[in-house]
Amino acid sequence: MRKIRESRQCRSLFFALFSFILGSMITLNLTPINKTCIVDNTDKEYNIMQNSKLKNPELIIIIMSAPKNLDRRSVIRSTWLSLGKKTGLTSSFKFKHYFVLGSIGLSNDEVLHLSAEQSEFSDILILPIHDGYENLTGKVLKSFEWLDEQYNYGLGYKYVLKCDDDSFVNLPLLLSEIPKMEKTLSNSNLKFPLNLSPEELNQFITTDVQMNENVKTNFHINNVSLYWGYFHGNAKIKTAGKWKENDWITCDRYVPYALGGGYILSKPLITFLANNAKYFRTFKSEDVSVGLWLSPVTNIIRIHDIRFDTEWITRGCKNYYLVTHKILPKLMKTMHENLENNKQLCTREEEKRKYYLYDWTVPPSQCCNSVK
Ligand SMILES: *[C@@H]1O[C@H](CO)[C@@H](O)[C@H](O)[C@H]1NC(C)=O
Ligand SMILES: CC(=O)N[C@H]1CO[C@H](CO)[C@@H](O)[C@@H]1O
């Protein structure tokens, strides 16, 4: 009797998993939820891009989510993603998004709900890892590995934006700002500080260039990678709480990193991270980890941009924001309406926290004082 029940459970689980797969998302093994039912899908050709009409988006957006956060995903789909899609129709700069979840340890109920969500939207990247804060870094790294692998199966892209399911991305603006930034950098001839055009970019960004001589003398924007977000250079090591780091021995502070509410990486950086994934130490904070992992990489331009409101708490609201973090669903709806009706993000611009323009000419300990 017991056995029969088990095998039935097994079968229904299998069907759930199967519809998951039909939902067209799985490339790696969907590691079994129950050890007795192993679904081993090692066929790399079986990948989610085969059902995709959009083969080569310029930008991939990965949104870290959690199985239970359906409401957040729904609001994001109906707000900033929907705006982005409208813009994408006319823009030559295309994007594609994935919500990223871990599949191990999900309850049957969660699997069923996710299967339904997946078959409706086909936009969930399900990774064979435990979902949760303890391994957010592993989850981000695994996403990079997956993205790198997919590149060879038709998912071409130039940039990846990593954000969270409480980040609001002003996609219409971002989709035009990325090519603009490329152009600005191209035209700069690497004379830094940048002789920026459009001029007003100066008030938003500061940059640092690490480049080999041969690339410098024959500069082409395609030869360099961008690491773009809101940087921190003198952050203290967390010694308590959810983000406590037990094993940080690198130095007295974290090394410069772009804050996790949203940052952009060029494709070669994704490849570098994916190729070396097994050698990296994973720290509690994924953004801190990415900063460390990328610290020795050359041919890279770090762009500190105050239009990334990506700290642990929002700095307020400015219409120039490209990404704003720690935004609740209700406010997302308001921002969406504002953008639709007034082409402006904020109901009222406000500044709750000061920002700084990162100073790349001084040691990191003095990077971030120039509060405006
Ligand atoms: C964390 O995620 C990585 C995937 O990048 C995985 O290999 C590792 O086993 C995970 N660790 C834990 C404790 O779940
Ligand atoms: C050093 C290097 O890789 N230079 C390349 C930069 O990009 C241009 C255009 O894509 C190439 O022609 C160069 O060889």
pLDDT band with cut points at 50, 70 and 90 for residue 301: very high
Q: Which string of b and e fits 104-140 if b means at least 16 CB within 10 Å?
A: eebeeebbbbbbebbeeeebbbbbebebeeebbbbbb
Burial of 234 by CB count in 10 Å (0-12 exposed, 13-18 middle, 19+ buried)?
A: middle
pLDDT band with cut points at 50, 70 and 90 for residue 56: confident
- For ligand 2, is residue 176 a contact (CB within 6 Å)? no
- For ligand 2, is residue 218 a contact (CB within 6 Å)? yes
Residue nearest to atom 1 of ligand 2 (CA): 215
Residue 371 lies in a domain: no
- For ligand 2, is residue 190 a contact (CB within 6 Å)? no
Query: Which among 350, 343, 356, 293 has a CA at the least distance from the CA of 144?
Result: 293
Can you give the pLDDT at residue 8? 44
pLDDT band with cut points at 50, 70 and 90 for residue 76: very high
pLDDT band with cut points at 50, 70 and 90 for residue 72: very high
pLDDT for 167 beyond 70: yes
| Rounded Cα distance, 372 and 368, in Å | 11
Residue 164 lies in a domain: yes
Highest mean pLDDT (candidates 70-74, 117-121, 358-362):
70-74
Residue 372 lies in a domain: no
pLDDT band with cut points at 50, 70 and 90 for residue 192: low
Residue nearest to atom 10 of ligand 2 (CA): 222
What residues flank ligand 1, with Cβ below 6 Å?
129-130, 135, 138, 141-142
| Percent of all residues in the chain with a pLDDT value above 70, rounded to a whole number | 81
pLDDT averaged over every residue in the chain: 84
Convert the pLDDT of each residue in 105-116 to its tens digit: 899 999 999 999
Instruction: Give the domain range for residue 203.
Output: 2-366
- For ligand 2, is residue 352 a contact (CB within 6 Å)? no
Residue 202 lies in a domain: yes
| Rounded Cα distance, 135 and 101, in Å | 12
Residue 244 lies in a domain: yes
- How many structural domains comprise the chain? 1
- For ligand 2, is residue 223 a contact (CB within 6 Å)? yes
In three state form, how does the secondary structure of the chain look?
Answer: CHHHHHHHHHHHHHHHHHHHHHCCCCCCCCCCCCCCCCCCCCCCCCCHHHHCCCCCCCEEEEEECCCCCHHHHHHHHHCHHHHHHHHHHHCCCCEEEEEEEEEECCCHHHHHHHHHHHHHHCCEEEEEEECCHHHHHHHHHHHHHHHHHHHCCCCCCCEEEEEECCEEECHHHHHHHHHHHHHHHHHHCCCCCCCCCCHHHHHCEEEEEECCHHHHHCCCHHHCEEEEECEECCCECCCCCCCCCCCCCCCCECCCEECCCEEEEEHHHHHHHHHCHHHCCCCCCHHHHHHHHCCCCCCEEEEEECCEECCCCCCEECCCCCEEECCCHHHHHHHHHHHHHHCCCCCCCEECCCCECCCCCCCHHHCCCCEC
- For ligand 2, is residue 299 a contact (CB within 6 Å)? no
For residue 198, whether the previous peptide bond is cis, meaning omega lies within 30 degrees of 0, is yes
Name 316's bridge partners: 351
Residue 343 lies in a domain: yes
Give 246 Cα–ligand 1 centroid separation in angstroms.
17
The number of the ligand 2 atom at minimal distance from the alpha carbon of 212 is 1
Give 139 Cα–ligand 1 centroid separation in angstroms.
7
Residue 266 · residue 302 · CB < 8 Å: no
pLDDT for 324 beyond 90: yes
